[in-house]
A and B are shown apart, each in its own frame.
Chain A
Amino acid sequence: DAKTTQPPSMDCAEGRAANLPCNHSTISGNEYVYWYRQIHSQGPQYIIHGLKNNETNEMASLIITEDRKSSTLILPHATLRDTAVYYCIVSPNQAGTALIFGKGTTLSVSS
């Protein structure tokens, strides 16, 4: 079973920041937080991951609370193309470990 809880849906205006929360209160010490997204009719796409420090890449920022029980994915300037289902996943950082998907958050970006 998935170890994360996310709101089922969120809305965001184009150009604004989208902040997607995730609860993972039972995360283990060796588990990372991963974010993937699935645009309609496509396979999931990796966005970002982190252990305990905040992370940023060209797609997004990941903010993990100090107790690691929750995190927030931030899309700084959402566009219509960011409309997708966003999945927060906790998993050991071991190459070859299968990902266990929860229900995710459907983000709708509108103009």
Chain B
Amino acid sequence: SAVISQKPSRDICQRGTSLTIQCQVDSQVTMMFWYRQQPGQSLTLIATANQGSEATYESGFVIDKFPISRPNLTFSTLTVSNMSPEDSSIYLCSVPTLAANEQFFGPGTRLTVL
């Protein structure tokens, strides 16, 4: 299993500003995923972050808006840039296990943009 922590757990931000969300894993993992969960909705994959390479973004998400860093095998950050109220969501990171494609999810960061 993997223990994942995220910081901050929640934040309230003004439109036009940026917020960086941190994801820390208690073990080394090659791949990490970032998801967004808008209010009342399901999870949507934002991007896949591999250590040592550029993140791969899903359709509808771009690096300028959601830059991702992956400096080592236990840590990643997601920045939500130039925020608008539509960015109000829960942002979650997850990591896969080596077997069975089971994934572990962080507790999420609840972002409110005013």
Chain A residues in contact with chain B, CB under 8 A?
Answer: 2, 32, 34, 41-46, 49, 87, 91-104
Q: Are B43 and A101 in contact (CB under 8 A)?
A: yes
B103 touches A87 (CB 8 A): no
Contact check, A95 vs B45: say whether CB atoms are below 8 A apart. no
Chain B residues in contact with chain A, CB under 8 A? Answer: 4, 30-31, 33, 35, 42-45, 48, 92, 94, 96-108, 110
The distance from the CB of B7 to the nearest CB of chain A, in whole angstroms, is 14
* A-B Cβ contacts below 8 A, count: 62
Q: Is the CB of A102 within 8 A of B101?
A: no
Contact B44–A101 (Cβ < 8 Å): yes
Q: Which residues of B contact A95 (CB under 8 A)?
A: 96-101
| Chain A contact surface mostly | loop
A92, closest chain B residue (CB): B101
* Set A42, A87, A92: member contacting B42, Cβ < 8 A: A87
User: Which residue of A32, A43, A44, A92 has the most chain B CB atoms within 10 A of its CB atom?
Assistant: A43
Q: How far is the CB of B94 from chain A (nearest CB, A)?
A: 7
Across the interface, do A97 and B108 meet the contact criterion of CB distance under 8 Å? no
Q: Which residue of A lies closest to B34 (CB)?
A: A98
Shortest distance from the beta carbon of A80 to any chain B beta carbon, whole Å:
21
- Asked if residues A102 and B31 are in contact (CB atoms below 8 Å), the reply is no
Report if A43-B97 is in contact (Cβ < 8 Å); known contacts: A87-B42, A98-B48, A100-B45: no
